[in-house]
């Protein structure tokens, strides 16, 4: 009976590959990113996400990174130390709107601009006119910063 389910781990592995990010682009304005995923057959899927909807997970993937500023997922050369997972509040996956979707950044991938990538995953708004990162007083985009 157990031989009938030996194919299941292989199918789950191939399905899991569709959640791996192939490329991530910061769009003009610095509030949105374009996410390019690719399945093992080579089909490309594009999606857009708002930076304030990124919720970084810890290295053990058990909880959200709190405080997010203390999470160190890049090494000294600017590459990923481990497979980074981010939970998106709203995500369009294969033309279907999904909430609380977890996407993966592979450790073997290349990070071309580590400082910008680091701040995007932490949810900071980035001014794309000069690529300055808004970290003044640790204010993140779309978070309350004073009481009314």
pLDDT (tens digit, 0 to 9) for every residue of the chain, 148 residues total? 567 788 888 887 777 777 678 888 888 777 888 888 887 778 888 888 888 888 888 888 888 888 878 888 899 888 899 988 899 888 887 778 889 888 888 888 788 888 888 888 888 877 666 555 555 544 455 555 454 4
Which residue blocks in 17-122 are alpha helix, DSSP H? 114-121
Q: CA separation (Å) from 144 to 111, 119, 136, 139?
A: 31, 18, 14, 8
For residues 58 and 65, the answer to whether their CB atoms sit within 8 Å is yes
pTM for the model: 0.71
In whole angstroms, give the CA distance from residue 96 to residue 117: 26
């Amino acid at each position: 009976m157990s031989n009938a389910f030996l194919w299941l781990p292989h199918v789950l592995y191939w399905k899991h590959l569709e959640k791996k990010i192939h490329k991530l682009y910061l769009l003009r304005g610095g509030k949105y990113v374009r996410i390019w995923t690719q399945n093992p057959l080579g089909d490309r899927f594009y999606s857009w996400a708002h930076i304030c909807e990124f919720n970084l997970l810890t290295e053990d993937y058990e909880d959200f990174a709190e405080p997010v500023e203390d999470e160190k997922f890049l090494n000294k050369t600017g590459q990923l130390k481990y497979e980074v997972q981010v939970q998106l509040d709203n995500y369009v996956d294969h033309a279907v709107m999904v909430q609380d979707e977890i996407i993966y950044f592979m450790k073997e991938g290349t990070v071309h601009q580590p400082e910008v990538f680091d701040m995007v995953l932490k949810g900071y708004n980035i001014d794309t006119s000069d690529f300055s990162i808004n970290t003044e007083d640790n204010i993140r985009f779309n978070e309350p910063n004073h009481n009314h």
